Amino acid sequence: EKLYRIQGWGEPYFSINAAGHVTVSPKGDHGGSLDLYQLVEALRRRNIELPLLIRFSDILADRIERLNACFAKAIARYNYPNVYRGVYPIKCNQHRHIVESLVRYGKPYHFGLEAGSKPELMIALATLEPVANPQNNQFPLLICNGYKDQEYIETALLATRLGQRPIIVIEQLEEVDLILKISRQFEIKPIVGVRAKLSSKGIGRWGNSAGDRAKFGLTIPEILTVVNRLEACQMLDCLQLLHFHIGSQISSISVIKDAIREAAQIYGELVKLGAHMQYLDVGGGLGVDYDGSKTNFYASKNYNMQNYANDIVAEVKEACEERNITAPVLVSESGRAIAAHHSVLIFDVLGTNEVPRTPPIAVEEKEHLIIRNLRETYNSINEDNYQETFHDAAQFKEEAISLFNFGYLSLKERSKAEQLYWACCGKILEIARKQEYVPDDLEDLEKIMASIYYVNLSVFQSAADAWAIDQLFPIMPIHRLTEEPTQRGILADLTCDSDGKIDKFIDLTDVKSVLELHPFKNPDRSDNEPYYLGMFLMGAYQEIMGNLHNLFGDTNVVHITTNPKGYQIEYLVKGDTISEVLGYVQYNAEDLLENIRRRTEQALQDNRITLEESQLLLQDYERSLRRYTYLMDND
């Protein structure tokens, strides 16, 4: 448990059972748990192949419940005289089953949706129930963010005729005139918000969503221009919402507090200017503790959901009391904190490449001096000289390569020199691991000696942020956890791209370059036993950011819901077939197949292939077109 820090990032959903398997408790503390390894085996028996994304719908429900419970508690604690109305930002994970489930689970809390683009607006308008009674505040909000053209605004405004109540958030000055024009044309009074560029900045990977030069939002002079334009058209009463978003995954609570304080003042000033303000929308940013360290490290956060809600409620209440104005409905747009936990990516190890750790046994009579030096270095390594011998071995290895390049060392001799060098590193590493303090120059030793675990996935498709912005996700075996993981490895994916690897793993407020893993071939059990790894907290942003590098397509996805009898596969969304991904790049599977058929006929005529071979080739080609893009078990 300690090794993979599962308690830190996994509670209350993931843990380890006595059999050494990861377990999932989708309802958090309120329900039973599932053995993840057994679940994967059961899914494979249904011919659902790996890599496989498992979505636990009950976790989504639990996240919504928690967020609302935290705000309800904060509102009660501080006697806040208004309500919380959260919205889910569709961009975080747009998949239909997720958005529909969230709307269903969010119903008791009037949980709404946020759209950041026209396609997302179209999802929101068709998914959210129309508002029956707009007077009573008991309905989910629909926040319309992002760049807007005429069609976007027209669609949003006309949807009010269907019973929707979209709040159109102005992010660019040009949008004001468009909104005014369209609302006049249809005689529909819009509900308008403004997105402020705060000077309080986020930190970390997504930190530049705020500040004067942020991509979105209005500066204070621009907000005043909006106020003046609305006022000139007697429509200042339409301005009802103030929005800001200082970036995703805010790891420090003090940054959030600063932003709320600034926003609450702007809100108060807008009220003073005569806007009929009703909503303060604090955007996203509520972080996820990916490394379990509970610190302000970028993969973590130094606060919990309750602290977040408390600070928002307390700050806004205080600012409103000081100004003697009505407290707003509090809105947040948390995506990551709602969606991240519910998805786990399961993938299998296909093979490993290990650095040889034993020196070549055969000592030849006329061994080259450099080989003799390396062998002597190997034999002399001990606790007192391990740092010094590391430098000797490295230097001898460099010399061996130079000698080879000048033609003084044969290929066989170079091979021996390299093997001896690895053997030295292995021996030194074993000593270094036992030391309390590891000298700086030896820190890379783990990396040098790491095994490569080839895994059945594409980092570009399934964990885009791990590749693009070095985001850290917890990764661990989902079984064999009673066995000591004696190996240290990095993960290499299926793509022919040297960036298609994972060599940064969570560590306590740090990043480590190797992951503790088990020997791929389990010595105690059958050779064919698969080795499954899980990548956790994958539900936010990864799926839609994934790309088709090397034409590895969408993975299989299952939605699991739990019930008193165990679990049920609510939905199965099959991953892309080869013919589908070929279609994305404008190939037609039928044409390709026909082309190959014609070529086999030609080869048959020329006696370059037998009839049986040609039929096997065509059969394989045709079958592959219908198959998953990832590697499958050999028959």
Q: Which residues are catalytic?
A: 496
Is residue 635 a known part of a binding site? no
Is residue 35 a known part of a binding site? no
- List 90, 92, 280, 330, residue binding ligand PLP (CB under 6 A): 92
Q: Judged by CB under 6 A, does residue 252 bind ligand PLP? A: no
Q: Judged by CB under 6 A, does residue 285 bind ligand PLP? A: yes
Number of C-beta neighbours around residue 108 at 10 A:
10
Q: Which window, 22-30, 277-285, 460-468, 472-480, contacts ligand PLP (CB under 6 A)?
A: 277-285
Q: Judged by CB under 6 A, does residue 283 bind ligand PLP? A: yes
Give the residue with the Cβ less far from ligand PLP, 256 or 316. Answer: 256
State the Rg of the chain over Cα: 30
* Shortest Cβ 290–ligand PLP spacing (Å): 13
Dig out the tokens for 396 from the structure.
């001898």
* Shortest Cβ 109–ligand PLP spacing (Å): 17
Give the residue with the Cβ less far from ligand PLP, 74 or 92. Answer: 92
Give the residue with the Cβ less far from ligand PLP, 70 or 429. Answer: 70
Q: Judged by CB under 6 A, does residue 63 bind ligand PLP? A: no
Q: Judged by CB under 6 A, does residue 82 bind ligand PLP? A: no
Dig out the tokens for 68 from the structure.
């609302």
Please classify residue 158 by burial: count the beta carbons closer than 10 Å to its beta carbon, then call 0-12 exposed, 13-18 middle and 19+ buried: middle
Q: Which residues contact 42 (CB under 8 A, 6 or more apart)?
A: none
Give the residue with the Cβ less far from ligand PLP, 207 or 328. Answer: 207
Give the residue with the Cβ less far from ligand PLP, 413 or 543. Answer: 543
| Region class of 624: left (phi > 0), else alpha (psi between -120 and 50), else beta | alpha
Dig out the tokens for 22 from the structure.
């990861």
Pair 123, 94: CB distance under 8 Å = yes
Kindly determine how many residues on this chain lie close enough to bind ligand PLP according to the rule CB under 6 A: 17
Q: How far is CA 634 from CA 185, 345, 457, 554, in A?
A: 65, 22, 17, 21
Reported in sequence order, the residue ranges of 580-631 that DSSP labels E, i.e. its strands, are none
* Shortest Cβ 116–ligand PLP spacing (Å): 6
Q: Judged by CB under 6 A, does residue 245 bind ligand PLP? A: yes
* Shortest Cβ 195–ligand PLP spacing (Å): 8
* Whether residue 26 has a cis bond before it, omega within 30° of 0: no
The phi and psi torsions of 525 (rounded to 5 degrees) equal: -125, -175
Sign of the four-CA dihedral 487, 491, 496, 498:
negative
Give the residue with the Cβ less far from ligand PLP, 101 or 145. Answer: 145
Q: Judged by CB under 6 A, does residue 171 bind ligand PLP? A: no
CA angle, 67 as apex, 27 and 346 as ends, to 5°? 45
Is residue 24 a known part of a binding site? no
Q: Which window, 24-32, 119-127, 330-338, 463-471, contacts ligand PLP (CB under 6 A)?
A: 330-338
Pair 539, 342: CB distance under 8 Å = yes
Residues belonging to the binding site are 280-290
Binding site for ligand PLP (CB under 6 A): 89, 92, 114, 145, 245, 248-249, 283-286, 333-337, 540
